[in-house]
Each structure stands twice: as C-alpha cells, then as structure tokens.
Structure 1
Amino acid sequence: MSYSVRTGRVLSLVLMVAMPGVALAHPGHGAEQGGLVAGLTHPWMGLDHLLAMIAIGLWSLVQAPAVRSATPWLALAGMILGASLAATGVALPGVESAIALSVLLGGILVASLARLPTSLAMGLVVAFMVLHGHAHGSEMPAGSSLVAFFIGFAISTLVITWGARRLGGWLGASGNPVLRVAGAAIAACGAFFVMS
C-alpha cells in the first residue's frame, strides 16, 4: 500500500473518530442511564482526552515490551486514580492546562519516537491519565451512579488505548513515517489547546 493511500486512510479514521465530539463535546450525555453511557461516551467526546489516549497507545509501540503490554492497564489505573481524586473532592490546580500540555507532549513523544526507561515511561502514562481521569471525575453528570460512570470510562479507556496501539502496529510501528505524522498532528492540536 502506498504512503499516500495509507496516510489518507489514517486521516479518515482520525476524522471519523473525532467528529462526533463536535456535536456532543459537553458533559451530561447518558445521565439518564445512570452514568454508564456518560462514562462510555465521555472519553470519546473530548478531543483532548481522545488525542491523549491515542498518543499514549501509539507511543507505547516504541517502548520496551513491558511498557507496550502494560500501557492500556496503566492508562486505566491513572484514569481511575484521577477520577477517584475528583470524586472525593481533591482538587488538582491547573488541571485543564496540564491536560493540554499532556496532549502536546504526547504528540511530541510519538513524533520523535522517544524511547524512555521503563519506569519513567510507565510513570508518564499514569501521570497523563491521572489528569484526564480527574477531569472525567469532575464532569460526571449529577445524579449518575459513580460505579456505572467509572465502568463506562474504564471500558472506553481500554478500547481507545488498545485500539491506538493496534492501529500503530498495523501501520508498522516505528518504521512508518505515518506514525511521526500522526504524532506531529497530535502535538499541533496540543499546542492549539495550550494557546486556547
């Protein structure tokens, strides 16, 4: 498959995944289902959350095998920790700015194919997702079931990070320039979020 055809397919996939967020990118969806639908949809609806998880999944491909296999679970652990902090009233000052920076840094890590020591890479995944999880926990619809909401976003977190890792593997991981282009696009979005 030629480079331009593959690039077109990847860009089409990214647009298809991201476009529903344009119509629904605000809290409150699914509250009537007790939080499960809200939890399932929230990670997909915020472009910052979606891009950060995609970046983490793609970036895991150039890491040590232990990081690569653990990434979806590390992302989930960070999300649950962050959401638990928010649900118990623990504030994280500057969390929105830090989320924007995590998208920027995640894109840079993918574009540069930066390989970090195992413990640092694992810690970075968890730290990024604590920020995003805190935002999810803060935006849980009023009256929703905490457990149902957590189950919903846990499922979506695993699907997005695992899916991004699989997509990157399909693209040929670190040997494919499309991975660098995807990282640069994510970094550009992160820079826009930081400046907004």
Structure 2
Amino acid sequence: MFSKLSKFNAALAACVLAPSLAFAHTSIVQTVGFVHGFTHPVSGLDHVLAMVLVGVLAWQLGGRALWLVPTTFVLVMAVGGALGMVGISLPFVEAGIAFSVIILGAIVALGIRAPVAIAAGSVGLFAIFHGHTHGSEMPEAAGGIAYAAGFMLATAALHIAGIALGYLTGKASDQHGAIVMRSAGGIAALAGVGLLTGLI
C-alpha cells in the first residue's frame, strides 16, 4: 500500500511539474515520451470532442470560466494520469469518457449557464477518466514527465481550439453563431451516444 502511494505521489508530482520540466531533458526517451503524450489526446474522437467541448463551454460561460474551466480540466486530468501511470484501477473509465462527450455536448446544445464552480467541478470529474486513460496507455519506453507534458499540452491546445471556435462563430454572427454552436453540441452528444453504444 505504501509503495503504491509513493508511486502515485511521484507520478502526480511529475504531472504537475511537467510543464516546467518537459524541455529540460533532450534524450530520445524524453522526446519519444513527449510525442506519444501529445498525440494520444488527438488520436481519438472521444478525447477530441470532449476537450473541444470544454473550450466551447468555457466560451459560453465567459468571464472567469474562460481560464478556470479548462485549467481545472488539465490539472485534474494530471491526477487521473498519475493514477493510470502507477496502475491504480478506476471503474467505468470508457463509459465515463463517453458520458463526458454526451453531457458536455448536451450542456453546449442547451446553452446551460451553470455557475463557474459547478462547471469546473463537472469537467474535473470527467477529466479523471480522460487522464486515467492517457496514463494507463503510456508506452513503456516513454518518459513519464515528458509523456505527461505532452498530453497536458495537447489537451490545453484542444481547449483553446474550442474557445477560439466559439469566439469566431460568435463573431461571425451573434444570432446564428449560438445556433451553430448549439447544433454542434447536439451532434457531439449524439456522437457520444454512438461511442457509448459502440456504434462509433
């Protein structure tokens, strides 16, 4: 038990400190780890949809949510990643990821304006599942710190893409922009149902 806790604390520290340490190592292992980590979130439709939806949700809420909601996701995802890296199991991971797409898509589609704390807490819950998948699928040859930096950076980039998408759509047309975003949220929610049922 102590050994697992020590490994978890070390992995969590690595994830949290990753952004500042990632480029301090130039070995092949670290480079491979970073590339694997960066490509993992962008290689699956479920992850891409959820991450972009977090950005769109942050844009819809505006104000503090623009930075607090995505930041919460990335930091809590690091915790989930640490759990996965040290082999601590988590139930219903795949279902949790699919439900994240369904629920986030539905929130965007319905234009629900939840308080920022509730929005951040909700995305934090989903982030555990996404992070666990990233961590548990880390290649053995990859360096943990670089791998964590990669998937955290890719996730942040997808959040920014979601915020930019919302902003540009809103700028294009105040009236039709919201309709486009809500329609996209509905399509994403349906895609989440497809992921949950195995149709996609």
TM-score, with normalisation over the residues of structure 2?
Answer: 0.78
Kept in 2, the 8 Å contact 1:64–1:118? The answer is no
- Distance in 1 (alpha carbons) for counterparts of 2:71 and 2:115: 18
Q: Partner of 1:15 in structure 2?
A: none
CA contact (8 A) 2:72 2:124 kept: yes
**What whole-Å deviation, never above 9, does each CA across 1:128-172 have from its counterpart, x for those lacking one?**
111101100011111210001001111101110011111111111
Give distance in 1, aligned partners of 2:185 and 2:39: 24
2:98 matched residue in structure 1: 100
1:187 aligns with 2:185: no
Residue 127 (structure 2) pairs with residue 129 (structure 1): yes
Residue type at the aligned position of 1:139: E
1:47 to 45, 48, 52: 45
Paired residue for 1:113? 111
Contact 2:30–2:143 under 8 Å retained in 1: no
Counterpart for residue 38 of structure 1? 36
Identity of aligned residues (%): 35
State the distance in 2 between where 1:127 and 1:151 align: 20
Residue 160 of structure 2 is aligned to residue 162 of structure 1: yes
- Pair 1:32–1:68, CA change in 2 (3 A): closer
Equivalent position of 2:24 in the other structure: none
Q: 1:31, 1:37 within 8 Å by CA — same for their partners in 2?
A: no
Larger Rg: 2
Number of residue equivalences: 167
User: Is the Cα–Cα contact under 8 Å of residues 169 and 180 in structure 2 kept in the other structure?
Assistant: yes
Asked if 1 retains the 8 angstrom alpha-carbon contact of 2:46 and 2:98, the reply is: yes
CA distance in 1, matches of 2:115, 2:72: 15
| TM-score, structure 1 as length reference | 0.80
Unmatched 5+ residue regions in structure 1?
Answer: 1-29
Deviation of the 1:31 alpha carbon: 7.5
SS at match of 1:143: coil
Distance 1:138 1:35 in 2: 14
Paired residue for 1:78, among 76, 79, 94?
Answer: 76
Q: Distance in 2 between matches of 1:162 and 1:135?
A: 21
Give the 5 Å matches for 1:57-72.
57-72=55-70
CA-based RMSD: 1.8
SS in 1 for 2:157: helix
Structure 2, unaligned runs of 5 or more? 1-27
Is 1:153 equivalent to 2:151 in the alignment? Answer: yes
